[in-house]
Structure 1
């Protein structure tokens, strides 16, 4: 889970401030120009939300496993 969180933070940092200059360099590979540049913050938000979804899912799974182990131990 730590690996997923670190990856999400790194990608989010590449897309959003303060490393948004890196995203501008990658925009040549990804495509788009000035007319599509308003979409880039939306991409950052999608990355952040998907990472949050992964983290919350992992926390819920850990809680379910701990409750299951607790029930089997009784």
Structure 2
């Protein structure tokens, strides 16, 4: 729950305080004028969400790897204990 609250706070700060940075960044890349300026926060949100998806995917993959290692260690211990008996 703490991680979710942290991400929400980060996104809030990034989109409000960093909104001007996103606007300057996307204005130089995408172009456009005042009529297209309402799109820049949407672009910024998409970039932040894409980064969040990548970070979550890495975390899930690490957890899966750790789980596989733990299961293989438990199987080895079970085989060794059966050999002793």
Aligned to 1:50: 50
Unmatched runs of 5 consecutive residues or more in structure 2: 1-9, 75-85
SS of alignment partner, residue 32 of structure 1: coil
Name the structure 1 match of 2:34: 34
RMSD over aligned Cα atoms = 2.1
Structure with the bigger RCO (C-alpha within 8 Å, sep 6+) is 1
Aligned residue pair count? 61
Check 1:19–1:45 CA distance in 2 against 1; reply closer, same or farther (3 A cut).
closer
- Give the distance between the partners of 2:41 and 2:24, measured in 1 at CA: 15
TM-score scaled to structure 2, two decimals? 0.58
What CA distance in whole angstroms lies between the structure 1 residues aligned with 2:22 and 2:55?
A: 24
